[in-house]
Amino acid sequence: MAKITINDTTVEVFKDATILEAAKELDGVYIPTLCHMNLESFNVEHHVGSCRVCMVDVEMGGRSKMMPACCTPVQDGMVVKTNTPEVIQARRIVLELLLSDHPFDCLTCPKNLDCELQALAREFGVDHLSYKGEMSKYPVDTTSMAIKRDLDKCIMCRRCETVCNEIQTVGALSGYGRGFKAVVAPAEMKNLDKTNCVMCGQCVNVCPTGALTGISFNKKVWAALSDPNKKVVVQVAPAVRVAIGEEFGLEPGTDMTGRLVSGLKKIGFDAVFDTNFSADLTIMEEATEMLERFKKNENLPILTSCCPGWVNFLEFQFPDLVNIPSTCKSPQQMFGAIAKTYYADKIGVKPENLVVVSVMPCQAKKYEAGRPEFAHDGVRDVDYVLTTRELARMFNEAGIDISKMQEDNFDNPLGESTGAAVIFGVTGGVCEAALRTAYEWVTNKELKDVNFTAVRGLDGIKEASIDIDGTEVKVAVSSGLGNARKLLEKIQSGECQYHVIEIMACPGGCINGGGQPFIHAETDILEQRMKGIYAIDIGKEIRKSHENPYIQKLYKEFLGKPGSEKAHHLLHTEYYKK
């Protein structure tokens, strides 16, 4: 342990702590940061110290020096001052230098009022630029269909680089160039569509400015809603309903389902459906595929395929394993395929005149919707994808405060769902939902306790053995692509053997997707969102996908049976080595 003095108060901390970590032990001590992120839960150290906004006065051995608090380790006897005029002026100079090479398009920037650089400039009273000179100018990259990259707004905090390389282990971003021309970018300054970026959007979540944002389709959705020749329907993903309330001042985890439906109908969508319906449909197909593989003992373990960020990661990083994921499309794409066939036929609308909009917690869903295999005769299964944040912006544009809306119900036939479907929104949920159905199909017995708690929780990797009528089924659940890499490497080496593996690209699953409301502080927001998901599951009258009456009707009227030729044509896909 080391004893240091911060602003005349002595504190004792571990010797491997930084000054910033020590300061957090004291009430009333605030040190601003830009490049710093708390990554303790990922067992990743992040002491970049690139922005210098956290400068403090450090005295050791009678000598005083300005040091960055986020990456300076404590030493016994150290005396730190965090609020002297000299310290405040040093921070202000750093901010003004950052702003001297930053665009002043705040009014039109997607991060306006949610920009950490903007907030610090206001906090330090920066009302003019003391330093003027050359401004960076780079082309804006929108090639990926999911993530917009505006390097003019990059402040070299390197948060995105840390998330991409250390947590997700994708390796698409790194420091590029030197001096004034230094930015964080792909190798050779390539556009994102020419890299191994998986579009998970975790870089967007941590970017403090507008250098990385999602590509918005809001205007195109408004245009479709105004087109009298189009019928516009919307589907809502499970994780959206426990997070969008945060954009309207409500607690994380608040179930907004009914109010969300009301708001969407108020905006003008012709029908409001639930992605949970197609999550139940996914379980019908995936559980069927799972049992077939068990019987044949081939292509095991079966990997879940609901997450497009994870699918991209597999295609880039583990091409030798492309034969083992489930061939099921994601619930988003299954919904689009059924909407443009079964539903379009029911209402007498041509597929090209039916616009399907998705509300997702994810940036990768935008990329997924644009994949060529998810279009038929030039008609996409899903036309536009909005993130949770973008839908909140649409509500604000329309003057709709959904926190004050009366509750309404999803429309049918694509709006009925079970508790098994809603838990898709959290890590472990897809695996648990599949097990609920697989158990009853294998045993022909009623599963009275549907809660497979062994696969729940926010741990990066979870393992369990499930007893299905005397047969041991080994399962693993992983969230965060760095954890997925560890798991898959163990499978390749033969160190671990499983029957079923669920993987989600984002740590914690879809509740922490790249399009969810930003999490700015070290809080338990993910825990609250997760609890909200399970509370909805518990409150459902039906909690097994195969008992959904509208799913049963869909098979009876249209698909035949799970795994049928028509089901394979509409609901399954294939993967590619990239």
Per-residue pLDDT reduced to its tens digit, 238-268: 999 999 999 999 999 999 999 999 999 999 9
Q: What is this structure's pTM? A: 0.94
186, 192 Cβ separation under 8 angstroms: yes
Assigned token pair, 262: 């009301």
Q: Model confidence at 299, in pLDDT bands (50, 70, 90)? A: confident
CA distances from 38 to 28, 48, 58, 294, 520 (A): 19, 12, 23, 42, 10
Whether residue 286 lies in the annotated active site = yes
| DSSP 8-state secondary structure symbol assigned to residue 517 | P
How confident is the model at residue 470, as a pLDDT? 84
Please pick, among 373, 397, 489, 522, the residue that the annotation labels catalytic: 373
Over its C-alpha atoms, the chain yields an Rg (Å, rounded) of 25
| Residue 563: alpha-carbon gap to chain centroid | 30
Whether residue 32 contacts residue 125, with contact meaning beta carbons closer than 8 Å, is answered with no
Is 368 known to be catalytic?
yes
Neighbours of 282 (CB within 10 A): 30
The pLDDT-based confidence of 144 (bands split at 50, 70, 90) is very high
Q: Is the pLDDT of residue 39 over 80?
A: no
Q: Report, as an integer, the average pLDDT of 21-48.
A: 82
Is residue 373 part of the annotated active site? The answer reads yes
Q: In the prediction, which pLDDT does 523 show? A: 74
Q: With contact defined as beta carbons under 8 Å apart, do 55 and 70 qualify? A: no
- Whether the per-residue pLDDT at 522 is higher than 70: the answer is no
Q: CA angle at residue 400 from 398 to 403, to 5 degrees?
A: 155
Q: Is the pLDDT of residue 521 over 80?
A: no
Choosing from 21, 161, 247, 368, the catalytic residue is 368
The reply to whether 365 belongs to the active site is yes
Instruction: For residue 236, give the amino acid letter.
Output: V
Taking only the tens place, the pLDDT of each residue in 488-512 is 999 898 888 899 999 999 999 999 9
- What's residue 132's pLDDT? 85
- Three-state SS string over 264-300 comes to HHHHCCCEEEEHHHHHHHHHHHHHHHHHHHHHHCCCC
- Residue 40's pLDDT is 62
**pLDDT computed for residue 297 by the predictor:** 85
CA distances from residue 166 to 49, 146, 160, 203, 503 in whole angstroms, order as listed: 16, 22, 10, 12, 18
DSSP 370: T
**Among the options 116, 246, 247, 289, which is catalytic?**
289
Lowest-pLDDT range of 166-170, 386-390, 428-432, 468-472: 468-472
Query: Any idea which of 123-127, 354-358, 526-530 has the lowest mean pLDDT?
Result: 123-127
Candidates 116, 161, 286, 432; catalytic one: 286
Cα separation, 467 vs 470, whole angstroms: 6
Q: What is the pLDDT of residues 366-423, one digit of tens each?
A: 999 999 999 988 899 999 999 999 999 999 999 999 999 999 999 999 999 999 999 9
CA dist 216 and 213 (Å) reads 9
Helix (H, G, I), strand (E, B) or coil at 306: coil
Query: Is 96 assigned a catalytic role?
Result: no
Q: What is the pLDDT of residues 107-124, one digit of tens each?
A: 999 999 999 999 999 999
Question: Catalytic one among 144, 216, 262, 326?
Answer: 326
Question: What pLDDT digit, counting tens, does each position of 54-94 carry?
Answer: 999 999 888 999 999 999 999 999 999 999 999 999 999 99
Active-site entry in 431, 510, 544, 545: 510
Kindly state the helix (H) or strand (E) to which residue 406 belongs, with its residue range: none
Is residue 47 scored above 90 in pLDDT? Answer: no
Specify which residues 81 forms β-bridges with.
Answer: 57
Enclosing H/E stretch for 388: helix 388-397
Instruction: Go through 336-371 and write b for each residue having 16 or more CB atoms within 10 A of its CB, e for each that does not.
Output: bbbbbbbbbeeeebebeebbbbbbbbbbbbbbbbbb
Out of 329, 365, 366, 544, the active site residue is: 365
Letter for the amino acid at 553? K
If you ran DSSP here, which 8-state letter would residue 419 be given? H
- Phi and psi for 567 in degrees, rounded to 5? -60, -40
Task: With CA atoms as reference, report the closest residue to 300 among 465, 461, 474, 489.
Answer: 474
CA nearest neighbour of 344 among 231, 176, 194: 231
How far apart, in whole angstroms, are the C-alpha atoms of residue 252 and residue 526? Answer: 8
Q: Is 527 a catalytic residue?
A: no
**What pLDDT, on the 0 to 100 scale, is given for residue 377?**
86
The pLDDT, as a whole number, for residue 46 is: 63
pLDDT band at 471 (very low <50, low <70, confident <90, very high): confident
pLDDT given for residue 363 in this prediction? 97
- Can you tell me the distance from the alpha carbon of 21 to that of 70, in angstroms, rounded to the nearest whole number? 8
Q: How confident is residue 129, by pLDDT bands cut at 50, 70 and 90?
A: confident
Kind of pairing, strands 9-13 and 2-6?
antiparallel
- The string of pLDDT tens digits covering residues 185-241 is 999 999 999 999 999 999 999 999 999 999 999 999 999 999 999 999 999 999 999
pLDDT recorded at residue 42: 64
Over the chain, what is the mean pLDDT? 94
| Interatomic CA distance for residues 132 and 97, integer angstroms | 9
Residue 2 — very low, low, confident or very high, per pLDDT cuts 50/70/90?
very high
51, 160, 200, 306: the catalytic one is: 306
DSSP state of 502: E
Which domains occur in the chain, in start order? 2-83 (3.10.20.740), 98-214 (3.30.70.20), 219-571 (3.40.50.1780)
